[in-house]
Amino acid sequence: MTLDDLGNYSDILSIPLAILGLILIIRQLNMQLAESEREHTRRQKEMTLNSYNSIRGDLRRSLKSVRNKLGLEDMFDTFKQEHLEQIFQDKKLRHEVIKMLSYMNKFAVGVKHDVFNIHLLNDLAGDVFVNTYKQFKPYIYHVRKNSSKFYRDYESLVQELIKLQKEDKY
C-alpha cells in the first residue's frame, strides 16, 4: 500500500465523519433552540402572572367603580346609549373608563409583542377581558370616530381570546 492509497482511504473515511459531525452540530443547535424557546415561554408566563397580579386589584376597583356609576350590575349587563352619554358628561367617570380600558389595552399590546402569554392571560382573566370589551363596545366604537387606532390591540386580543375559549370547549 502506497502513501497515495492511504491518502485516498483517509479522504473516503473523512466524509462520513464530517457528515456525522454536521449531524451532531445540527442536533445540538436544535436542542439549544428548544431550550431557548422553553425559557422564553417560562419568562413570558412569569411576566404575565406578575403583571396581572400587580394590576388585578386596581383593575377590579376600576371595573367596579365604572359599573356602579353607570348602574351596570355586572359584566353581562347591557350598555345603553344613556350610559355613553353619562360617560361623556362626567369627566371623572370618563377618566375612570379610559383608565379601565387602558389596563386591558396594555395587556393586549404585551400579547401582541410577545411579552405576555395569551394562554395564561386567558386562564387568569379571559372572560373579564372578553365580556368587558363586549359591554363597552359602544364606547370604544364612539371614541374610534376620532381615531381608528383606539383600542385596536384590545379588540384583536379579544378576538384571539374568543378563539381560544372556543377551542377549550372542544
Q: How many residues does the chain have?
A: 170
pLDDT band with cut points at 50, 70 and 90 for residue 75: confident
Rg of the chain (C-alpha set): 27
Q: Torsion angle of alpha carbons 149, 150, 155, 157, nearest 10°?
A: 90
What pLDDT does residue 139 have?
Answer: 94
Question: What pLDDT, in 10s, does the model give residues 96-122?
Answer: 999 999 999 999 999 999 999 999 999
Interval 5-16 mean pLDDT: 76
User: Would you say 129 and 87 are in contact if contact means Cβ atoms under 8 Å apart?
Assistant: no
pLDDT band with cut points at 50, 70 and 90 for residue 6: low
User: Would you say 139 and 164 are in contact if contact means Cβ atoms under 8 Å apart?
Assistant: no
CA distance 100 to 116: 19
DSSP 109-164: HHHHTTSS-HHHHHHHHHHHHHHHHHHHHHHHHHHTTT-TTTTHHHHHHHHHHHHH
Phi, psi of 34 (to 5 degrees): -60, -40
CA distance 1 to 141: 87
> How many beta carbons lie within 10 A of that of residue 33, not counting itself?
10
pLDDT band with cut points at 50, 70 and 90 for residue 16: confident
Question: What pLDDT, in 10s, does the model give residues 143-162?
Answer: 998 888 899 999 999 999 99
What are the CA-CA distances from residue 77 to residues 32, 68, 84, 87, 131 (Å)? Answer: 50, 12, 14, 16, 10
DSSP-based three-state secondary structure for 9: helix
Please tell me the pTM assigned to this model.
Answer: 0.77
